[in-house]
Amino acid sequence: MVANTGTGAPAPTRPRHPHRRQHHRQHHGQHRRRLAGVTLAVAAVALASTACASRETSRGVADGDLAIGVGVPLSGPYARAGRETVNAVKIAVDEINQAGGIDGRKLKVIEGDDQGEPQTGQSVAQKLCDDDSVVAVIGHYNSGVTIPASDIYRRCGLAQVSPLSSNPEVTTRGLENIFRIGARDDYMGPALATYLAAQTDLTKIGTIDDQSSYGVGLVDQFTGKAEAAGLDIVKSAAIKAGDKDFRAVLGSFPDETQVIYFGGYPADAALLAQQAREVGLDVLLAGGDGLYDPDLLKGGDAVEGTLLTASAGNPTADAQAFLDAYRASYGQPSGYGLLEYNAARLVLQALGDVDDLSREAVVDAISAVSYQPVEGGAPIEFDDQGDNENAQVHIFTVKDGSFDEVAVLNPDDFR
């Protein structure tokens, strides 16, 4: 059933990792430090019994200022999204510093431009690993960058918190040091298929992916659920991300096609919608969280009605302080700015609970954290793979040039 509620999702059933669950139990009833001026919601981290087979090194943290690394694309086609992540993290860090830091130690943000490229992302990861002031990393943006970078962070024991990378392989490779805030592709794709089948009479579906890890995985997840729900996949095709002329591909879809589900990013999606009209294809565009971006709206009338999924809903009144702070310094954030801000606050909350600061202790603290998002709703808590147990999928449509939230799906709605 599709529910228009903001309540927390039931935890998906997954095998539990005894190590992390032990930490959950050990947290309760122990002494907890607090970051001045910041309300924290979890108990202290137990530092004993933390040897983990998947972690190769455990390192301390240098004296002096602490650093949060942010590995994201700051140049290239995804630069807007990456810059927004940096801005949101800086706001959270500034708040902590204004409140006295962590045990009197100030924090700084170290930016790393991965350009949305896997090899560059690995270079960024190695630089952050080699900097002993870095206690945790927020990033990366593209799943195809996050996955190889996570192997670098694992080797140096750094905690990596990805707000948005949604390919399931981000968290299914048994790495203790990686965590994800948003919903996975195997939530996003099935959720949109469920919505189409239950809430519309659109049954003739075409799919296009951009050949990226994100796009291929998302379309695969959508297709499996769509076929199970009785939708008809009339054709599947691929494009090359960044190309400017998709008319030959679009012209190959049969006239009966009613929806094109796209696994890719917003600039390409906007072009697809515009060029579909040019080849006489009357279709509704649909896609995943990659389309929840202001760049999609540049498609104008052609993207009106587009259906898409996202890991974040409309901000509530409780998020006003963040929105005001962001607008004052950087302009209007996208719908993901708040989620990235929450990711940073979650890391800072965990840091405040570590008694003996080391990278290993930070990983353990994040694994056991229970963080209350500033906008309310269910807390962010991680399962044994590092996924947010309470992640929801928000369904949006484009209406009058803006994103309009139409539904919220919990995992039990589509799994």
Write out pLDDT tens, residues 210-227: 999 889 999 999 999 999
135, two tokens: 């206690």
pTM of the model: 0.80
203, two tokens: 């049954």
Per-residue confidence band for 275, with pLDDT thresholds at 50, 70 and 90: very high
Q: Which residues contact 388 (CB under 8 A, 6 or more apart)?
A: 179, 180, 181, 182, 183, 380, 381, 382
* Residue 265 · residue 210 · CB < 8 Å: yes
CA separation for the pair 107, 174 (Å, rounded): 30
Which whole number is the average pLDDT over 95-116? 96
CA separation for the pair 337, 343 (Å, rounded): 10
Strands 159-162 and 134-139, bridge-based pairing: parallel
* Residue 173 · residue 148 · CB < 8 Å: no
Q: Residue 93's closest CA among 332, 351, 348, 326?
A: 348
Q: What's at 379, amino acid-wise?
A: P
Element (H, E) at 150: helix 143-156
Lowest mean pLDDT among 41-45, 130-134, 169-173: 41-45
Residue 133 has pLDDT above 90, yes or no: yes
